[in-house]
A and B are shown apart, each in its own frame.
Chain A
Amino acid sequence: AQSVTQLGSHVSVSEGALVLLRCNYSSSVPPYLFWYVQYPNQGLQLLLKYTTGATLVKGINGFEAEFKKSETSFHLTKPSAHMSDAAEYFCAVSSPRGYSTLTFGKGTMLLVSP
């Protein structure tokens, strides 16, 4: 069974500050990992994903995440927050073996203040 834990239901940063959203996973095999963003009253949009290869992956809107197998983590970062980054962010995991659905974390709401 696979699972995802997102630390912090809410994270507040100032505009221009570093954004760090934490995600830890549990999986019996090296997983596929995803970050999605949800803006108010909208569906989920894929930010970035890790499947194989380079452990540092870059996504849209200046976000990136690093897969660390030893720490079972896939934290999302952005060097400088923008007001438009305010949204809810979801980490998700799936297994590369056989058919696997996405399992989501409970989400982290990012609040950006001027």
Chain B
Amino acid sequence: NAGVTQTPKFRVLKTGQSMTLLCAQDMNHEYMYWYRQDPGMGLRLIHYSVGEGTTAKGEVPDGYNVSRLKKQNFLLGLESAAPSQTSVYFCASSPWAGGNYGYTFGSGTRLTVV
């Protein structure tokens, strides 16, 4: 009963490097989300997907790209990392729209950009 799995759990990048964060869910959920969490800022939505092959921008999309080639996976990419992208990244999923179910969250990826 894995739920939502994020890899890696920790990563240190140098400014300008690229990386991809992987989110995988085994609940057959239709919708997936990427949030970032910063001290005193709560969680802010980066991008989300309402189904395989779809993506949409959230509140803070700049500097990130996403892909949803398979229903169970949602990838978050940083093409050229910046120190401002130092954060904890959370992936979440939900079975349908409307938000009344709530989200299932992964355990997070702590990213430091130096």
Residues of B within 8 A of A34 (CB): 102
Give residues of chain A (89-106) contacting chain B, Cβ–Cβ below 8 Å: 90, 94-96, 98-106
B97 near A100: Cβ-Cβ < 8 Å: yes
Q: Which of A60-114 contact B (CB under 8 A)?
A: 90, 94-96, 98-107
Q: Which residues from 61 to 114 on chain B have a C-beta closer than 8 Å to any C-beta of chain A?
A: 90, 92, 97-100, 102-103, 105-108
Size of A's binding interface in residues, CB under 8 A: 26
12 A-B pairs within 8 Å (CB atoms) are namely A9-B40, A32-B100, A41-B108, A43-B107, A44-B92, A45-B105, A51-B100, A95-B99, A99-B50, A101-B58, A102-B102, A104-B35
Residues of B within 8 A of A (CB): 4, 33, 35, 40-45, 48, 50, 58, 90, 92, 97-100, 102-103, 105-108
